[in-house]
Structure 1
Amino acid sequence: MARITKDQCLDDLKLRILSTDLAPGSDLDETSLAEYYEISRTPMREVLHRLAGAGYITTTENRGAKVASMDIGTMRTFFQTAPMVYANIASLAAETRTAPQLDALKDAQLAFVKATGAQDAQAAALANHRFHAVVGEMAHNPYLVASLDRLLIDHTRLSQRFYRPSTADEKGRIVKASDQHDALITAIEAHESALAIDLSLQHWDLSRDRMERYVRPDPLPVDVVSLKDRRNAI
């Protein structure tokens, strides 16, 4: 591939992680990545350091780097924390947003509508990521925004399934998600903090169970190992 800058390398690795092209928990070999992106190991090491600082990867001394895990402990914390962060971010956004930020939010929504209309799951997940990142910027709160940025990494990875609907109900949820985005924009524009909180929580509830399926697949049938023979199973 053509030689790229450190920032381009960083952005591409973020995209590959968010789209799950690089699977959660997978190893990242510094030498292989440097060869792939045609940059030396020193700038690649800097890129990995920046990814680790942003929560995309984890690094351990003498064990290299891994894509941030989505294990049970991480997901439990995610589902406990996300609604609180999203609600507080939305409330502050309605109070402190600026006109340019509101324009950026509307642009993000246009990209989301285009992606969902094209049934492009990856583009939809990334557009949704951008939408909520802009809401975070509106809050002007570095403590909450740091939490939001980390949450959005896992939210975007989990939502890959949400944007690949297989039933009419799932397709309807995507349409409703877009409608909720529009309603949230209206609430933020009108400085309606209480309404923004309510819409944010409704929006979370809409996709929560679908995202949970990503880490909690449907159970196996009871008769996979019959009750009669279970005592003999190894």
Structure 2
Amino acid sequence: MSEASVTAVEGNPPQVKRGEGVAYVYEILRNEIIELKLAPGSPIDETDLSQRFSMSRTPIREALVRLAAEGLISTLTNRTTIVSNIDFLQLGSFFDALTLMYRVTARLAAGNHSEADVAAIRAHQANFSRAVDERDVLAMIATNRDFHIAVAVAGRNKYYTDLFRRLLDEGRRILRLYYHSYDDNLPRQYVVEHEDMIAALIARDVEESDRLAVAHADQIVRQIRSYISADSRSASSLTL
């Protein structure tokens, strides 16, 4: 099952083959958390999930362990498990780190990529473009991540790749807000930005790759900040 193909359970869950329960529960819950259908701070109860998915608590517990490892759920000091909160106070630091990784990985990929790397990057870009056309937000989040990780891999620095993967995974719910700000109808110009980055990479133009990475990161950061600010003002007006 792919990240984009699994949707939330409605009514009775379908029959799941023996041994596939952990992956099934994990993907359903992960997608609901990323899509913010399970809001930050929402309680997670093993017994309720066991009833919902008609499974024993063992696969439920294993799925929750995977989600915890990705930082999507947290266990409080009183042993209550909740959907992890989004730390908006650290958003500036997150954006700084993300922008830096866009730049570093783009520069290294321009200088170190192979033909096989370019083929992989193009394949992920095709998947991203298709997801944008179909307005499939989970697929957009997944394929955008895969595209940028493929660029990082082309740079030949495992430590940067691992750090970038962690940042992209932690930022999935933030990216969900980005797409939501466009009503999940992402303008094609942002697909073209990826194409421009690929062209600079193929040309081994390190400085142009850097410039495009900065521009790409900046527009994402501006859009998210603008959306969060507008949403906060709207929420405040409702309480007046």
- Is the shorter-chain TM-score for this pair beyond 0.5, marking a shared fold? yes
Q: Does 1:183 align with 2:177?
A: no
Aligned residues of 1:161 and 1:210 also touching (Cα < 8 A): no
Which AA in structure 1 matches 2:191? S
User: Using a 3 Å threshold, how does the CA distance of structure 1 residues 186 and 37 change in structure 2: closer, same or farther?
Assistant: farther
Counterparts of residues 195-234 of structure 1 (less than 5 Å):
195-217=208-230, 220=233
Which AA in structure 1 matches 2:100? M
Q: Identify the range of structure 1 (3-12 vs 177-186) with the bigger mean alpha-carbon deviation.
A: 3-12
Which of 55, 58, 69 matches 2:74?
58
Counterparts of residues 98-177 of structure 1 (less than 5 Å):
98-164=114-180, 174-177=187-190
Aligned to 2:8: none
Deviations 1:67-119 (A, max 9, x none): 23213223232122211122112222333434333222212211222222234
Equivalent-residue separation in structure 1 for 2:115 and 2:86 (angstroms): 36
User: Using a 3 Å threshold, how does the CA distance of structure 1 residues 177 and 45 change in structure 2: closer, same or farther?
Assistant: same
C-alpha displacement of 1:217:
2.5
Q: Does 1:194 align with 2:207?
A: yes
C-alpha displacement of 1:200:
1.0
Which AA in structure 1 matches 2:39? A
Deviations 1:135-167 (A, max 9, x none): 233334343233322322354323334334669
Rg (Cα) greater in structure: 1
Q: Identify the range of structure 1 (208-217 vs 157-166) with the bigger mean alpha-carbon deviation.
A: 157-166
Unaligned runs of 5+ residues in structure 2 are: 1-12
Which AA in structure 1 matches 2:29? L
Aligned to 2:7: none
Aligned residues of 2:47 and 2:57 also touching (Cα < 8 A): yes
Which AA in structure 2 matches 1:196? S
Q: Does 1:33 align with 2:49?
A: yes
Which AA in structure 2 matches 1:148? F
Aligned to 1:87: 103
TM-score (norm 1): 0.77
Structural RMSD (CA):
3.1
SS at match of 1:174: coil
Deviations 1:42-70 (A, max 9, x none): 33222222222223332335423332321
Which AA in structure 2 matches 1:118? E
Q: Does 1:8 align with 2:8?
A: no
SS at match of 1:23: coil
Aligned residues of 1:55 and 1:150 also touching (Cα < 8 A): no
User: Using a 3 Å threshold, how does the CA distance of structure 1 residues 197 and 35 change in structure 2: closer, same or farther?
Assistant: farther
Aligned residues of 1:162 and 1:210 also touching (Cα < 8 A): yes
Which of 61, 71, 76 matches 2:92?
76
SS at match of 1:163: helix
Seq. identity, % = 28
Aligned residues of 1:56 and 1:153 also touching (Cα < 8 A): no
User: Using a 3 Å threshold, how does the CA distance of structure 1 residues 145 and 26 change in structure 2: closer, same or farther?
Assistant: farther
Unaligned runs of 5+ residues in structure 1 are: 225-233
